[in-house]
A and B are shown apart, each in its own frame.
Chain A
Amino acid sequence: MLLIHCPYCSETLPEVEFTYAGEAHIVRPETPSAQSDADWEGFLFLRSNVRGPHYERWRHLHGCGRYFNAVRDTVSDKFLTTYKAGEPRPDLSTLTVTQK
């Protein structure tokens, strides 16, 4: 079971309290009507699907209910960090696995 640190509650809690919410830092276009079909394909459907450190969103559903971002290694499933929504992407080179 994953143990996930909620940056709002400042607690590390079991996976069952959280729901996964897809890749992070995907920004909805400012001017939707100006987007081409290819832009929409990218926004709606194309994801990085990284094998390695992955920026992703989680929601502390059975806790504070808030969305936050995380970096997780998709090979080991270990979290490198979690951070509040709206904060910039952490630099991967500064991150190490905090979870045993």
Chain B
Amino acid sequence: MTRFNAFNLLKNALTGHKNWTEQWPDSQPKAEYDVVIVGAGGHGLGTAYYLATQHGITNIAVIDKGWLGGGNTGRNTTIIRSNYLYDESARLFDHALDLWQNLSQELNYNVMYSNRGVLMLAHNVHDVQSFKRHVHSNRLNGVDNRWLTPEECKEFCPPINIAKNARYPVMGGALQERAGTARHDAVAWGYARGAAMRGVDIIQNCAVTAIRRNADGSVAGVETAKGFIKAKKVAVSAAGHTSVVMDSAGVRLPLESYPLQALVSEPVKPVFPCVVMSNAVHAYCSQSDKGELVIGSGTDQYTSYSQRGGLPLIEHTIAAISEVFPIFNRMRMLRKWGGIVDNTPDRSPIVGKTPVPGLFVNCGWGTGGFKATPGAAHTFAWTVAKDEPHPINAPFTLERFRTGRLIDEAAAAAVAH
């Protein structure tokens, strides 16, 4: 695989860009691996990458039923932030944010990380109190976040309507300047290339139909569309389909799968300098480098695997966007889509071991998994390699739903991820 640098770019430019090599081979499964990772999204590919680079394990297969990065990795609204309320979450998401800073250099792949800032708007007294609590909690945890007055919000992001008589008046906002966006596809591609370069097999269009266990209960391997693959360890990162896969191993998870929708507008000139989230009206918005507004909202109300979602939610979201940013109310939308997100009851992820020896799970990221990709993959790889929790992912166990040590971001934190 060719390393990307100025010299190689120039060399290939002179030969008409006809000599670039493939970024990763289209692998076929071998009979046996040390680690099989189910799900070739950012989390699964990242886990393979860190297993190879940090733990010296390279006999790995990453298996996906579709194409790599075609699930929630390619369907999210690319927002990255770490302004979570609780200590455990702040550590996990800020670890990810630290890794985002140099990810392009590390992967030799431009993931287009842009720390343009994430501004969360407060529309009522409760929002103000709750966000100020977040700001204080974040600062105690060393996470960057600060409070802006309505005028400062307007200065930071001019399209916001701060009129006193607005339908959703802006009473201030919490700004995390280190937060921002990244190119979601490039994250999957960069990790895939980095992992494949070190010998990891990436097997696409090969659904894992079941996890098979030995007589002693430990994991034996996976049944796939291309036959049985033996594995010493199996790590599942299958987002909305995790509970379906894990059911076959006899592990029940506290997950429910919901559609989460997003949509983009026609491309326009740069007009929107940051990411704005508005939890009270359930809408968030940023502008991609192509110029499209990228808009997202909350999940649909019912569980589903349809990857579509319903139009009432889109209407609700667009109504809110039009009120908060009146300049966009004639903007035409180009397309909308849905991804299936796996929500836990406390809206915090489950990362770690399972009751089945050799079987690991990284799931429950719900509506906010993209931002955590490097941090989740990095700590999950540690857990898979050493068969023990990483200090950062240790609180995010499956057992917490039995012991009651929940990390209840759902009730107190930023709801719309």
| A residues at B contact (CB < 8 Å) | 1-2, 14-16, 19-20, 37-38, 40-41, 44-47, 49, 51, 54, 56, 72, 74-77
Contact = CB atoms under 8 A, between A and B. Distances in A.
B225 to A, nearest CB: 16
A19 B313 CA distance: 13
Nearest to A41: B402
A37 B306 contact: no
Interface string B270-303: 0000000000000000000000000000000111
B310 A49 contact: no
Nearest to A2: B310
A54 B243 CA distance: 14
Given A1-B310, A1-B312, A44-B345, A49 B303 contact: yes
B311 interface: yes
A41 B398 CA distance: 11
A19 B304 contact: no
30 contacts: A2-B302, A14-B312, A15-B310, A16-B312, A19-B301, A37-B402, A37-B403, A37-B404, A38-B402, A40-B402, A44-B345, A45-B254, A45-B345, A46-B252, A46-B401, A47-B254, A49-B256, A49-B257, A49-B303, A51-B244, A51-B257, A51-B305, A56-B303, A74-B303, A74-B304, A74-B305, A75-B305, A75-B306, A76-B306, A77-B302
A15 B404 CA distance: 35
Contacts of A1: 310-312
B353 to A, nearest CB: 17
A44 B311 CA distance: 30
A46 B302 contact: no
B255 interface: yes
B238 to A, nearest CB: 12
B308 interface: yes
Given A74-B304, A74-B306, A77-B306, A49 B312 contact: no
A19 B401 CA distance: 26
B268 to A, nearest CB: 29
A15 B403 contact: no
A49 B363 CA distance: 14
A77 B304 contact: yes
Contacts of A49: 243-244, 253, 255-257, 303
A54 B305 CA distance: 11
Q: Is the interface of A mostly helix, strand, loop or mixed?
A: mixed
Interface string B342-365: 000100000000000000000000
Contacts of B244: 49, 51
Q: Is the interface of B mostly helix, strand, loop or mixed?
A: loop
A49 B257 CA distance: 7
B260 to A, nearest CB: 15
Interface in B307-362: 308, 310-312, 345
Nearest to B403: A37
A77 B308 contact: yes
Nearest to B306: A77
A44 B404 CA distance: 11
Given A16-B312, A47-B256, A75-B304, 14 more contacts: A1-B312, A15-B310, A37-B404, A40-B402, A44-B345, A44-B401, A45-B401, A46-B401, A49-B243, A49-B253, A49-B255, A51-B305, A74-B257, A77-B306
A20 B312 contact: no
A15 B305 contact: no
Contacts of B256: 47, 49
B241 interface: yes
Contacts of A16: 312
B311 A72 contact: no
Nearest to B401: A45
Contacts of A77: 302, 304, 306, 308
Nearest to B399: A41
A45 B302 CA distance: 16
Given A15-B310, A44-B345, A56 B302 contact: yes
Contacts of A76: 306
A35 to B, nearest CB: 12
A14 B312 CA distance: 10
Contacts of B312: 1, 14-16
A56 B301 CA distance: 12
Contacts of B302: 2, 20, 56, 72, 77
B174 to A, nearest CB: 30
Contacts of A37: 402-404
